Structure 1
Amino acid sequence: MESATKPGEMPGAEQNWTPKLIFSMASMLLLLEVLTVSYIMISMAIPGIAAHFQTTQGAWLLTSMLLVGAVTGPLVGKLADMYGKRKLLLLCVVVATVGSLLSAVASSYAMLVAGRALSGVLIPCVFLTYSLIRDIFPTKTIALAVSIVTSGLGLVAIPAPFLTGWFLDNHGWRSIFWFFVIAMVVFGAMIFVSTKESAVRLHSKTDLLGAVLLGAGIAGVLIALSFGPTWGWTNGSTLAYLVGGIILLVGWLVSAGMVAAPLVDLAVLRERPVWVTALASGMAYGCSALFTILLPMMAMTPAVMGLGYGFGVSAKGFAVFQAPIGGMVVVGGVIVGILVGRNVRPRLLMILGLLMFSAAFLCTALSHTDKPLLLVFAGLAGLGMGLAYAAVPNLLIEAVPPQLQASTASIVSVAQSVIASILPVLAFTVMNNSYIAPFPPELTHGAILYTDKGFQIAFLIGAAASGIGALLALLLPRRIAQLEVPATQITDDDHEVAFAH
């Protein structure tokens, strides 16, 4: 099949930035900011919510959203490739809005968690936005647009603690969910009026068996990883979820090799640019999760405890440490967008970002008693995050044809979620086994404090993981040739954009 018009080069389309394009990009960026701020706000609201419903299961407010996002991602990606990325993006916004509304009016904790679970479909919106941008934006603007949209996720983290504190202090925890409802309605409407649908379609069938096997398998593994530290790694429930999840994932692999149109094409996943991008980006997201957990724990510990670290800052006071991270994430994304637009390979930027991240972990491990220096290290980590985050969609755009963009990106997103769950568990398993500070519970009000050596080891684990990610990124080909669409899945619609090389 001969090459047709490329995405972003529709006949008569403008090839440069226009006010409507900027508005469209801003709409998608603001929607994804809601996803980021939801983690921060809910984390700060958990104590009040748990007290209101008299529950000890506050972790489900975060876990349920992560689970649903990871489980639904592959199916959402496949449906987006088949029926239109804008349609699925707006559908996800509607479902997430209903979920937040359900949480806002919840009369029971189960109802609240169910609403949070529905809100998890906002997570696939990350790859849906950059997949849609790839199809509808002019070629000259794609690299910068996808980089800004994906790396802009760190910007809102700066004011979020202050906004959350104002909501909780003046209007209670329900106001947070009403804020989500209003924000998603507004930003979803902005996307509806400013962003057109992609013309790219994948001629395929819905693999329902594959969706069930893959989704249930991912859920089993993530539940085991999330609750293993609480239940115990040898607990029957932990082992049942973990082993059951692995068996279901193996079943999915077998199923995908047998059906004509699998949920995710295994031939595409076996290609080096795809599986290397999945693993390297997973390391980047895992290291991001670890750094953003370790840093506040360390900074908020009172110095008077005599552990050799800590500044005793409050949750709101931690914003001074969050500012350089969030700001530099955005800077890193803009740098990637500009350089990729000038033909710098995203592979190089991915490697550079992970090396910066590794350096930030290493420096923090060796020196974390000087606040200004720690702010510099936090900024370095943010820059590494931004470079790595923004490199991922650009790598997938290079490697994967438009018809498979969303479904392939969904599996990369799953790898990011799984590794982001594993790495903090690994670090805290080491810390809990050997580096708990010997304080009586009544002195710490039940909180667990770690020795200085424990934090050093944890940050060194992050440095090693980032380094491994950089080594993985080195395996990416210097020049990535775009994969072909499987012959059984090429559409024959003359109005659709399709190109095989």
Structure 2
Amino acid sequence: MSAAVSEPGPAPRAGAVVAVLAFGGIVVSLMQTLVIPLVPELPKLVHASPSGTAWAITATLLAAAVAVPVIGRLGDMYGKRRMLIVSLVLLVSGSVVAALSNSLEPLIVGRILQGLASGVIPLGISIMRDELPAERLGSATAQMSASLGVGGALGLPAAALLADQFNWHVLFWVSAGLGVLVLGLVLSFVPESSVRTGGRFDLVGAAGLSVGLICLLLAISKGGTWGWGSGRTLGLFGVAVVVLVVWGWFESRTKQPLVDLRTTARPQVLFTNLASIVLGFAMFAMSLALPTLLQLPKITGYGLGRSMLVAGLVMAPSGLVMMATAPLSAAISKAKGPKVTLMIGALVIAVGYVVGLVLMSAVWELVLVSALIGAGIGFAYGAMPALIMGAVPISETAAANSLNSLMRSIGTSISSAVAGVVLAQLTVNLGPISVPSQNAFRVILGIGAGAAVVAFLVAAAIPARRTEVALEPQLAAASKVG
């Protein structure tokens, strides 16, 4: 009798955990596109220069680069749910600070706090590994990983609509409300894992990695503005190389490193992280090229003359497709292994970009292109957590997933820089101003296709291994849902 009563328990609890964590991932990823509709008007709104307001985006990127690996390691040491709650509190705090701001400085502070919450997605994936039954893990982590793209895709039209209809502060009040909602759901439904590493936190390693990443990403994101050959840009690149080399030497010799480089060097982890960089690059190329093409005036002969809201709505289906393909991604990974799923995703992304080279003259054509690329991203992003977790100890799950998430962010940063250079260099004159030429968009789409092919080749180099089989013994011991 007792067994019959208790058996239905795990499914609803597992479902609640998955739903709450995936929703949290979507909310956090919304922060990446939250201010994009405000960019043209932001200098007037906060009484600052365009170069100054650009920091509202850059600051979030830099904060995320620092927070993701640090929060992941702290989660492994002191509790993933605890660090998830800390991240959500930072998100709410940053949203409130930004909502109350009327000048640039507090807005940047708010955006930094929002960026510090970026560890929610890797923490969520790691909690799933600890808490879910083995048979639920594949589809759940695929959905959680896809939430990164879903939030970004859905955030643009939602933010554009709110910015168009209400005062710009409403954007941040809504994000604060969503953060409070997720926090309440986490407190109610997500359990704390007993899987912890303990030990001492590697403060020196965290500081070294933070300095190296900030210098690297700052040089990448600001190189187009400062000049790629300027002393400031080259100096930051140089400092980044030196600091990261010294950091690697230190981490390989410390007993309890922030990042276990021996684990990171395992072929399955190494090649998955390399593929993550390239796929992050490929994903963001679409996010930059298609909205710009949609908003260029029709007088150019190739621009579609649409509003920011319409551009966002064109991109929204890609996010829905990402979430829809997550279960299929998990099914393929279970049947053929996540390596195959990752390769399929890369090929679908490449096909999407090739279709974009041919079809770019109507709104429906760009909807099709974004949906195809979104499907490929859904496959690929769903496979990567399975590859990572199949190659690392369960006690290092959060740190390993956080590093993988960081690799994606580096890829998107490089993509933004490359696309910015292409759009700035390949232009045509439109009266007194210059706008990107049609060839600029073709070049970006071609680069995106090439990046996806590179990701396919990198994925093909991953050692063949049935990740699910490797995970099952650890998951059976760690699973406590119900």
Q: Would you say same fold, with TM above 0.5? A: yes
* Change in 2 beyond 3 A, CA 1:156/1:281: closer
Partner of 1:452: 438
Structure 2 residue 200 is the aligned partner of structure 1 residue 205? yes
CA deviation vs aligned residue, 1:301-352 (integer Å, no higher than 9, x gap): 122222xx22111111124421331221112212112333x43311101000
Question: Which position in structure 1 is the counterpart of 2:304?
Answer: 311
The separation in 1 between residues aligned to 2:106 and 2:429, in whole angstroms, is: 40
8 A contact 1:437–1:449 mirrored in 2: yes
Task: State the shift of 1:107 in Å.
Answer: 4.6
Q: Is the 8 A contact 1:399 1:480 kept in 2?
A: no
- How far is 1:18 from its partner? 2.2
Please list, as runs of the form range in 1=range in 2, the aligned pairs for 1:338-353 lying within 5 A after superposition: 338-340=331-333, 342-353=334-345
| Preserved contact between residue 352 and residue 384 of structure 1 (Cα < 8 Å) | yes
Aligned partners of 1:63 and 1:410: how far apart in 2?
Answer: 20
- 2:386 corresponds to which of 380, 388, 394: 394
SS of match in other structure, 1:449: strand
CA distance in 1, matches of 2:64, 2:8: 34
Change in CA separation of 1:400 and 1:153 when aligned onto 2, cut-off 3 Å: same
Check conservation: 1:29, 1:153, Cα contact below 8 A: no
2:356 maps to: 364
Of 355, 363, 366, which residue of structure 1 is paired with 2:347?
Answer: 355
Structure 2 CA distance, aligned partners of 1:469 and 1:15?
42
Quote the residue 2:86 is aligned against: 91
**Which is helix-richer, 1 or 2?**
2
- Aligned counterparts of 2:418 and 2:152: Cα–Cα separation in 1: 25
The counterpart of 2:25, out of the listed 11, 28, 32, is 32
Q: CA deviation at 1:61?
A: 1.2
Q: CA deviation at 1:428?
A: 3.5
Task: Report the secondary structure of 1:479's partner residue.
Answer: coil
Query: Pick from 38, 51, 55: which aligns with 1:45?
Result: 38
CA distance in 2, matches of 1:156, 1:497: 29
Question: CA 1:50–1:431 in structure 2 vs 1: closer, same or farther (change >3 Å)?
Answer: closer
Q: Distance in 2 between matches of 1:237 and 1:387?
A: 39
- Corresponding residue of 2:63: 68
Q: State the AA in 1 paired with 2:344.
A: L
Assess if the C-alpha contact under 8 Å between 1:24 and 1:190 holds in 2: no
- Which structure 1 residue ranges, 5 or more long, are not aligned? 1-11, 485-495
Report the counterpart of residue 472 of structure 1 in structure 2. Answer: 458
The alignment status of 1:142 with 2:134, answered yes or no, reads no
Q: How far does residue 172 in structure 1 lie from its aligned partner after superposition?
A: 1.0
Indicate the SS of the match to 1:437: strand
> 1:399 aligns to what SS in structure 2?
coil
Query: For the structure 1 residues 337 and 414, does the alpha-carbon distance in structure 2 shift closer, same or farther, using more than 3 Å as the test?
Result: same
Alpha-carbon displacement from aligned partner over 1:214-248 (angstroms, at most 9, x marks no partner): 11100000000000000101222212222112211
Residues 257 and 354 of structure 1: CA distance in aligned 2, closer, same or farther (over 3 Å): same
Q: Using a 3 Å threshold, how does the CA distance of structure 1 residues 110 and 449 change in structure 2: closer, same or farther? A: same
Offset at 1:165? 4.1
Q: CA deviation at 1:191?
A: 0.9
Provide the C-alpha distance between the structure 1 equivalents of 2:308 and 2:38, rounded to a whole number of angstroms.
Answer: 12
Pairing partner for 2:12 from 3, 19, 33: 19
Instruction: Select 2:183's aligned residue among 178, 188, 194.
Output: 188
**Could you tell me how far apart the structure 1 residues matched to 2:178 and 2:56 are?**
19
Other-structure match for 1:77: 72
Instruction: State the alpha-carbon separation in 2 of the partners of residues 219 and 153 from structure 1.
Output: 22
Cα distance, 1:370–1:116 mapped onto 2, change above 3 Å: closer
* Overall identity of the aligned pairs, in %: 26
**Shift of residue 427 of structure 1?**
3.7
Q: Tell me the TM-score normalised to structure 1 length.
A: 0.88
Offset of residue 23 of structure 1: 2.1
1:362 maps to a residue whose letter is V
Are the structure 2 counterparts of residues 481 and 327 from structure 1 closer, same or farther at C-alpha, using a change threshold of 3 Å? closer
Runs of 5+ unmatched residues, structure 2: 471-476
Q: Kindly provide the CA deviation profile for residues 147-200 of structure 1, in whole angstroms up to 9, marking residues without a partner as x.
A: 112213444556645543443344411111111111111111101110111111
1:358-405 per-position Cα deviation (integer Å, ceiling 9, x unaligned): 111122123322443333222111100111111111111212221011
**Separation in 1 of the partners of 2:88 and 2:139?**
24
The reply on whether 1:267 has 2:262 as its aligned counterpart is: yes
**Which structure 2 residues correspond to residues 285-324 of structure 1 after superposition, within 5 A?**
285-306=280-301, 309-324=302-317
2:154–2:315 Cα contact (<8 Å) kept: no
Cα distance change of structure 1 residues 249 and 13 upon mapping to structure 2, 3 Å threshold: farther
C-alpha change, 1:296 and 1:283, in structure 2 (3 Å) is same
1:78 offset after TM fit, Å? 1.1
Letter of the 1:18 counterpart = A
Q: 2:324 aligns with which of 307, 311, 331?
A: 331
Q: What is the DSSP-based 3-state SS (H/G/I as helix, E as strand, rest coil) of the residue aligned with 2:429?
A: coil
- Secondary structure of 2:427 counterpart: coil
Give, as a single letter, the amino acid of the residue that structure 1 aligns with 2:459: A
Instruction: Check whether the contact 1:37–1:156 (CA below 8 A) recurs between aligned residues.
Output: yes
1:276 corresponds to which residue? 271
CA distance 1:481–1:30, change in 2 (3 Å)? closer
